[in-house]
Amino acid sequence: MSNATTTGGPGGERPGPDGSDALDRARAAVAQTRSAAAAWAAKTATQRAAALRAVGKKILGQADELAQIVHRETGKPLAEAYSADVLNVADLFGYWCDRGPSILAPRPGRIPKLEMPGKRAEVQRVARGVVAIIAPWNFPVAIPMRGMVPALLAGNGVVLKASEHTPESGRWLVQRLREELGPIVACLEGAGEAGAALIEAQPDLVLFTGSTLTGRKVAVACAERGIAFDCELGGKDCAVVLDDANVQRAAAGIAWGIVNNAGQNCASVERVAVHEAIADTFVPALVKRLEQTTTDVKELVTADQKALVRGHLLDAADRGGKVLCGGLPDDPEAVIPPTLIGDLPSDAAAWRDESFGPIAVLTICSDDDALVAAANDSQFGLGASVWTADTDRGLRIADQLDTGMVWINNHAFTGAVPDLPWVGTGNSGGGITNSPDALVHMTRPKMVLVDRNSKFEPWWYPYGDSMVALMKAVVKKQRDGGVGTLFATLGALNRRMKDVG
């Protein structure tokens, strides 16, 4: 984790000039949020949903202001600031406020009536307490909100550690939430030092989105402190183009997957595997589409990220890669254009490691098995797309891909669909955002049982021979079934109850 540049206070206020009190500010943010969390969790999920719905309306009412902040901080086109970070707010709040209370409702427990009479149980989903969200800079509204809304709905308090590269976006979000909800939400600004301090301040759950390297550090730090964590990490998504694909549509969709947000997306298309039978028509179509997107590609957000992408391009050149479009600008200050590279070995950095920029590598494969092998040749396992006119064939390919998500004839847009899990495997981590599955981490199960049985229990002391006989009868009933074993079990139970009572 890098050194902090700024560290905001609990409400998102800016720190003093020295920025030296990261841990104090983190502890204050967690303590303040924890104090408010008890009253918030005591509300019903329906009451919390009503309060959150008001927040959603407030944010949408100021959508233009928020889009401009995202555009200014990230450099992404204003159209992408709206489509990727702002407009999905409506669906996000709508989904969780409409469906969340029923998802969070207690479920009845199934209890064997014969062996355990007179008992009723339910399994509740209760808030963990304080959820710390360590957010990245590439989608400074969409990604933290995907965690914040369900976490708050479940009754948690939230401390957002906004990226040091997009502090205004995080501060703006928390201010809107605090205006409606009060100190149940806090903001901590800063770089790696602020994130480390937030973990040290002992929240109850850490949700981290970012690189695999940093995610491992977060996981270790949380494990050492007994803190639950959920890490959604990097990706190296592959687009698999079958020989029956709609060439023009696949080229347009994959070009968007490569260039969207200047490639600064964990689910960007960074590898393209195309069937040799279609390569002569598909590759020129993809190159044409990429060249048409040049005006929509902006500068990468950080200098370090630009240096990494340039390093991948230099390595590709050293390994004899063929630049099909774009390429490394001579001027190190110039914007890196949409770039497609062919003829690279699979151990090249641009094939093996996450680039997080508007570049992709191309490989041509002889058949479906080779396409699957190329797509699975990665340490990451976030997403992949399959492009084909035959849906059944696409589904067969999807079943063989080692990823958390597969899109057939599209790519990666489902981050904006609240009901669909965003999840990976391998070095992409096992973190889950969106869908009811995300609540597995944001809540903990709590079982409550009511026993109305007035008799002694057959498993109580003293044991004796009747206890062993009953256990054997139950095993036989479970194994063989039938009316005879049922009556035998009832007889063994009656004898056992005489010994216990």
Core vs surface per residue 319-338: b (16+ CB within 10 A) or e? bebebbbbbbeeeeeeebbb
SS3 at position 432: strand
3-state secondary structure string across 299-363: CCCCHHHHHHHHHHHHHHHHCCCEEEECCCCCCCCCCCCCEEEECCCCCCHHHHCCCCCCEEEEE
User: Could you tell me how many helices (H) and strands (E) the chain has, helices first?
Assistant: 18, 19
CA–CA dist 216, 230 (Å, integer): 11
Contact (Cβ atoms closer than 8 angstroms) between residue 93 and residue 53: yes
Q: Which residues contact 423 (CB under 8 A, 6 or more apart)?
A: 232, 404, 405, 430, 431, 432, 433, 437
Q: Catalytic pick from 73, 80, 193, 232? A: 232
Q: Catalytic pick from 97, 231, 238, 266? A: 266
What six digits make up the tokens of 315? Answer: 């390595």
CA–CA dist 446, 123 (Å, integer): 6
Angle at 327 between CA 322 and CA 331, to 5 degrees: 140
Q: Is 369 exposed, middle or buried (0-12, 13-18, 19+ CB in 10 A)?
A: exposed
The closest alpha carbon to 141, from 155, 162, 119, belongs to: 162
The closest alpha carbon to 235, from 375, 347, 336, 420, belongs to: 375
Beta bridge partners of 342: 322, 362
Contact (Cβ atoms closer than 8 angstroms) between residue 195 and residue 1: yes
Which run of H or E residues covers position 426? strand 425-426
CA–CA dist 208, 201 (Å, integer): 15
Whether 224 is a known active-site residue: answer no
Whether 232 is a known active-site residue: answer yes
CA–CA dist 275, 386 (Å, integer): 11
Q: Which residues contact 477 (CB under 8 A, 6 or more apart)?
A: 485, 486, 488, 489
Q: Any idea which residues carry the catalytic annotation?
A: 232, 266
